[in-house]
Chain A
Amino acid sequence: QVQLQESGPGLVRPSGTLSLICAVSGDSISSDTWWSWVRQSPRKGLEWVGEIYHTGATNYNPSLKNRITMSVDKSKKQFSLNLSSVTAADTAVYYCASQGGHQEFDHWGQGTLVTVSS
């Protein structure tokens, strides 16, 4: 059973960069699985942010494409999210999640609240 755990700063200044890490356990990060970030805010609800494969291949939400970078570190069994030039609109609970064969999100981390504020 795969387990996911997010970590990172809970407060980011406007125009700064949001950086989060998701640690993967109970499954190989090199398995045939896409690893995703999903965020949730009262304003926009649940929003898919992006996904990464263990090869480093990525797909991003076009609404964030110019600000987002994802990477994977197989030796540490973790993947990460960097979102630059943040504004208050990026305030949300950020979840990491794994995807099943039908692109459903079958396992989720507990989520971490990131607030963008000065």
Chain B
Amino acid sequence: DIQMTQSPSSLSASVGDRVTISCRASQSISTYLNWYQQKPGRAPKLLIYAASSLQSGVPSRFSGSGSVTDFTLTISSLQAEDFATYYCQQSYSPPVTFGQGTRLEIK
């Protein structure tokens, strides 16, 4: 199975900050990389698919980049509603696998 490793595991930031979360795959996955946001007690929500495509309805402050093994999720200006846990997921090779998550907390 392809292992997905996110960094950092947790992050403290303030409203208005620019935040980046990294995700590394254990082997090449081209751009088959998706990002999700999850709030407590809720299902994950798709933010970015195919590494850099913004899901419909997701604010443009979210962006994704990267290819092969290294990927980044960027939030350009944090809003209060963005404090949550973020997951990356590879869809290149079955079984699809997820990162362990990055918890974004209020500083």
What is the interface of chain A, defined by CB distance below 8 A to chain B? Answer: 45-48, 59, 61-63, 95, 97, 100, 102-106, 108-111
Given A46-B87, A61-B95, A102-B91, 7 more pairs with CB closer than 8 A: A45-B87, A45-B98, A45-B101, A59-B94, A97-B43, A100-B49, A108-B45
Q: What would be 13 A-B contacts, judged by CB atoms less than 8 Å apart?
A: A45-B101, A48-B95, A61-B95, A95-B43, A97-B43, A100-B46, A102-B34, A102-B53, A102-B91, A104-B49, A104-B50, A105-B34, A108-B44
| Identity of the chain B residue whose Cβ is nearest the Cβ of A105 in the assembled complex | B46
Residues B89 and A105 in contact, CB atoms below 8 Å apart: yes
Q: How far is the CA of A47 from the CA of B100 in the complex (A)?
A: 10
CB distance from A20 to the nearest CB of B (A): 15
| Identity of the chain A residue whose Cβ is nearest the Cβ of B87 in the assembled complex | A46
Q: Contact check: which of A47, A59, A103, A105 meets B44 at CB < 8 Å?
A: A105
Chain B residue numbers with a CB within 8 Å of A62 are 95
Residues B43 and A103 in contact, CB atoms below 8 Å apart: no
Chain B residue numbers with a CB within 8 Å of A104 are 34, 46, 49-50, 89, 91
CB distance from A2 to the nearest CB of B (A): 12
CB distance from B96 to the nearest CB of A (A): 5
Residues 39-68 of chain B, each 1 if its beta carbon lies under 8 Å from chain A, else 0: 000111110011001010000000000000
| Identity of the chain A residue whose Cβ is nearest the Cβ of B36 in the assembled complex | A105
| Identity of the chain A residue whose Cβ is nearest the Cβ of B46 in the assembled complex | A106
Q: How far is the CA of A62 from the CA of B43 in the complex (A)?
A: 24
Q: How far is the CA of A8 from the CA of B55 in the complex (A)?
A: 30
Residues B98 and A46 in contact, CB atoms below 8 Å apart: yes
Q: How far is the CA of A36 from the CA of B99 in the complex (A)?
A: 18
Q: How far is the CA of A63 from the CA of B100 in the complex (A)?
A: 18
